[in-house]
Amino acid sequence: MSILKVARLGHPVLRAGTRPLSPEEIAAPDLQRLIGDMIETMREYNGVGLAAVQVHDARRIAVLEVADNPRYPEKQAVPLSILINPKIEPLSEEQEEDWEGCLSVPDMRGLVPRYAKIGVQALSHKGEKLEFVAEGFHARVIQHELDHLNGKVYLDRMTDLSTLTHLQEYLRFWSEK
């Protein structure tokens, strides 16, 4: 497996959108290699999620995992998940604000409103149907990754840009720890 280069804000690939995968594409060895590389890249940079578009690939797929993450030490654990062609629907009117960062926007944090509870439909790395409900930080990470698949970044969702903060200042003034 390889650690891939992560596109940073300003690279047109982050705005270009993605295309859904066919069952044949899901079964192809090439896709399984991409998934392995995405997981390795996410872990290398202590991400909690990574969309293929962030590693310059237009396929509609994201990986996520939250486990003892030094960039998000206070967050609930999320098992390793691979979401292909994901769709979400809000299950609450309520949106919550919390801090987000992004490997494509290095060393920054900002407050972003997200639905507290969502329904998720996707295909697994084996092409099996997944359907589940996600809440809290888990729901947040999925909404963040789905935005990437639609050519958006968290900055587009911020309602108050005055909360945009360098990571060092976040840790100093705003972190819960």
Q: Which is nearer to Ni ion, 39 or 102 (CB)?
A: 102
Q: Which region, judged by CB under 5 A, interacts with Ni ion, from 67-75, 83-91, 102-110, 117-125?
A: 102-110
Check: CB of residue 113 under 8 Å from CB of residue 159. Answer: yes
**Is-catalytic flag, 24?**
no
Identified binder of Ni ion from the candidate list 48, 55, 102, 142, rule CB under 5 A: 102
Residue carrying the six token digits 């990470």: 141
Distance CA 45, CA 90 (A): 29
Residue tagged 């390793």 (tokens) = 80
Which residues are 97's β-sheet partners? 113
142 binds Ni ion (CB under 5 A): no
- The nearest distance, CB 24 to Ni ion, in angstroms, is 28
Nearer residue to Ni ion within complex by CB, 52 or 122: 52
Alpha carbon of residue 106 to chain centroid: 14
**Residues assigned a catalytic role:** 145
Which residues would be at the binding site for Ni ion (CB under 5 A)?
102
